[in-house]
Structure 1
Amino acid sequence: MTSTTGGVSGAPGISAPPRFDPFDTLPELVPLRTAAAHGDWPATAAFFAGLGTEAQRSFAAGLLADIDGVERYLEQAVAALPGDPLPRTLLADRYLHIGWDIRSGARAQHVSRDQFDRFHDWLRRAEQLLIEVCAEHPSYAHAWTVRVTTARGLELGQAEARRRYDRLAAHHPHHYPAQTQLLQNLCPKWSGSWEAAHGFARECAAAAPDGSHSGALVAIAHLEHWLELLGDGGMEAAAYMRGVPVRDDLRFAAQVSVLHKDYRPGFHGIGAHSAFALAFSLGGHHQDAIPHFLELEDRAAEFPWQYTPDPAAAFVKYRKAALSAAWGESR
């Protein structure tokens, strides 16, 4: 709803600085952070038991795995509950995060041999736990999701990563967290190809039920492609995002996913809208970005905004451009 002063009314956070902390933007996750802070395994287990979908469980597991020191109480839970897949999977995810922090997000040529050795050591520890879980519980979604990522880190190849994803997809065919991980595997920076990456993203968007998050994979694939081109010079990257084929690809994906009448945000909604908002904005398609920024208001996901030099400044800049376009449309 537009106001007579040229702003957008009815959205109290629409001009506030962006909030990136998921425990702030998704307050229903705060009990998980509290449980982690106290090393409270019963509270942690109860939190996961209360989640309604496998995608929610994967999202929450990723947040827990990113909290320093949680491996200590997770290791205790694994020792106390050797037959329970949850503590083993959460601990494996934490080991993965520890390893990736050591490796860093740099390209391989900028990672030292010592970093790689320690990185692989932590991933192998995660694999040992996950192999057991997947053998005992072959439909355990998050264990397979983490194994897609360890396959990438251990450089086990495209075929093995796809095999792991397919094992998961046989039970959970539209598991968005695993799809986002396999998409990374399929990008050229991990020995994939743009044909494979874009093809997989479009395949997931077309196959998923209307209103699912899978359409956001199309936006993520284009952002990855833009980032690769950015390293070769900004002009080619900008031209790519401005292209009509990219714009139309994004429009279709948004309509069948986050803009569809059957869409329900869930935990992944902020990240999905962030992907579309950034992708449309980079191409100068500010009117297309309007509904995504209106939904986000002052909420944002670290990924993919971290692909910009200053995520907070980029969010504010592009949100302002979209809202200016919204005001222009209404006149």
Structure 2
Amino acid sequence: MGIFSRKKSGPPSLDGLVLDRTWADGELDAAVDAVKAGDLDGALAGLKAQATDPDRRGLWTSALGEAAIGRSEQLEARIERDGADPELLLWLGQTLVQEAWEVRTGARAKNVSEQRFATFHDILATAKEVVEAAIDVAPDDAAPWNVYQWVAIGLGAPLETHQELFNEATARHPDNYQAHTSFVHASAPKWYGTTIEAMLDFAVQASERALPGRVLGTVLTDAVAEARLHVLSISEESRTKKLAALVKLSSKWEEPLIASHQKWLQPDRVREAPDLQAHNNYACLLKNVGKDHGRVSADAMFGRVSTLPWGYFGDPLEEFAKAYR
């Protein structure tokens, strides 16, 4: 081999990366593992313990719902045995939503069979009843209203309905991170909700309204990620036009994203439950920006990579590894 020959480097290592456990919470890790092994008791007790932190409660609800996919009948049996327990109803509602979307898959509507759509809607109709029951037994809880957003998205509810659900959630917890990010997704053009401009305007207002150091101020990242996906999914445009539009979009929102990132990462800020998801968003959206803005968040992720927004551009773990390893 000549002295100027180079050994070809292989793909970046995925060692140490974990998909979709975007939280820094050992108790939640243990609860998710227990649910996947069929043990619901400890997880239920853990969910009940999150009553005083709405954002942590929302994160636990989402994580346990994902872990319990395929176990909704077990949760139903517990409710039949124990009665209308607020956390059991909330957990079952979230699990049914997750199971419904598993049936539908992430494919475009035109590529989903009529049978899949029928099953999807049937499961969501049941989820709607369960979520409404959760609201009845815990009227001050914001969490069921956030789950309701995803029921409404799946059932094709008009934007006015989503606004009402958002208002109900934020009436109970004004700085509710999950309520704001869910409304961003509900109002995305792919659900026939609104325009890109209106979705981004909502996110800008929410970010500006948030106090320095609060994770709510990062909601702009969700809207920009949705806007990027919208540009890439415009089927009638050529690849060249899509890339040009993507560059224009990225340039327009680069400085606002950096500003919101800096506003969030205050030295004295208190850690919040959704932090790792927000770090994922910034690491993904700022990966090509100078001064290592994306690297700051990538290093704060502890190797925990979220499917979204990384999955919009390829395999999530591989996309992260290509950017930062």
Q: Which runs of 5+ in 2 are unaligned?
A: 1-12
User: More deviation in 225-234 or 187-196?
Assistant: 225-234
Structure 2 residue aligned with 1:310: 315
Structure 1 residue 216 displacement after superposition: 2.3
Structure 1 residue 84 displacement after superposition: 1.6
3-state SS, counterpart of residue 65 of structure 1? helix
Considering only aligned residues, what root-mean-square deviation do their CA atoms show, in Å?
Answer: 2.3
How many residues align? The count is 304
What is the rounded CA distance, in whole Å, between the counterparts of 1:34 and 1:312 in structure 2? 21
Structure 1 residue 286 displacement after superposition: 5.7
What is the rounded CA distance, in whole Å, between the counterparts of 1:266 and 1:212 in structure 2? 8
Answer yes or no: is the 8 Å Cα contact 2:188–2:195 preserved in 1: yes
Answer yes or no: is the 8 Å Cα contact 2:22–2:305 preserved in 1: no
Answer yes or no: is the 8 Å Cα contact 2:152–2:162 preserved in 1: yes
Could you say if the C-alpha distance between residues 309 and 37 of structure 1 is closer, same or farther in structure 2, counting changes exceeding 3 Å? Answer: closer
Residue deviations 1:98-147 (CA, integer Å, cap 9, x gap): 11111111222222221111111001001111122223422222111111
Structure 1 residue 241 displacement after superposition: 4.5
What is the rounded CA distance, in whole Å, between the counterparts of 1:38 and 1:316 in structure 2? 30
Structure 1 residue 254 displacement after superposition: 1.0
Structure 2 residue aligned with 1:31: 30
User: More deviation in 299-308 or 189-198?
Assistant: 299-308
User: More deviation in 193-202 or 117-126?
Assistant: 193-202
Structure 1 residue 17 displacement after superposition: 4.9
Could you say if the C-alpha distance between residues 216 and 74 of structure 1 is closer, same or farther in structure 2, counting changes exceeding 3 Å? Answer: same
User: More deviation in 202-211 or 267-276?
Assistant: 202-211
What is the rounded CA distance, in whole Å, between the counterparts of 2:322 and 2:43 in structure 1? 38
Residue deviations 1:249-302 (CA, integer Å, cap 9, x gap): 101211222x12343344322211110111112x54462213112222533222
Residue deviations 1:3-39 (CA, integer Å, cap 9, x gap): xxxxxxxxxxx99553225189643313312442454
What is the rounded CA distance, in whole Å, between the counterparts of 1:169 and 1:57 in structure 2? 14
What is the rounded CA distance, in whole Å, between the counterparts of 1:286 and 1:312 in structure 2? 23
User: More deviation in 130-139 or 106-115?
Assistant: 130-139
Could you say if the C-alpha distance between residues 289 and 30 of structure 1 is closer, same or farther in structure 2, counting changes exceeding 3 Å? Answer: closer
- AA aligned to 2:278 is A
What is the rounded CA distance, in whole Å, between the counterparts of 2:22 and 2:32 in structure 1? 8
Answer yes or no: is the 8 Å Cα contact 1:16–1:298 preserved in 2: no
3-state SS, counterpart of residue 300 of structure 2? helix
Answer yes or no: is the 8 Å Cα contact 1:174–1:204 preserved in 2: no
What is the rounded CA distance, in whole Å, between the counterparts of 1:319 and 1:34 in structure 2? 28
Could you say if the C-alpha distance between residues 155 and 23 of structure 1 is closer, same or farther in structure 2, counting changes exceeding 3 Å? Answer: closer
- AA aligned to 1:264 is V
User: More deviation in 100-109 or 61-70?
Assistant: 61-70
Q: Check if 1:301 corresponds to 2:323.
A: no
Normalised by the length of structure 1, the TM-score is 0.84
What is the rounded CA distance, in whole Å, between the counterparts of 2:296 and 2:181 in structure 1? 23
Identity among equivalent positions (%) equals 24
Residue deviations 1:36-64 (CA, integer Å, cap 9, x gap): 24544442232113335111111111111
User: More deviation in 246-255 or 105-114?
Assistant: 105-114
Normalised by the length of structure 2, the TM-score is 0.86
Structure 1 residue aligned with 2:85: 84
What is the rounded CA distance, in whole Å, between the counterparts of 1:288 and 1:37 in structure 2? 36
Structure 1 residue 226 displacement after superposition: 1.1
What is the rounded CA distance, in whole Å, between the counterparts of 2:27 and 2:199 in structure 1? 33
User: More deviation in 185-194 or 224-233?
Assistant: 224-233
Q: Which runs of 5+ in 1 are unaligned?
A: 1-13, 321-331
Structure 1 residue aligned with 2:201: 199
Could you say if the C-alpha distance between residues 241 and 280 of structure 1 is closer, same or farther in structure 2, counting changes exceeding 3 Å? Answer: farther
What is the rounded CA distance, in whole Å, between the counterparts of 1:90 and 1:299 in structure 2? 23
Structure 1 residue aligned with 2:21: 22
Answer yes or no: is the 8 Å Cα contact 1:19–1:25 preserved in 2: no
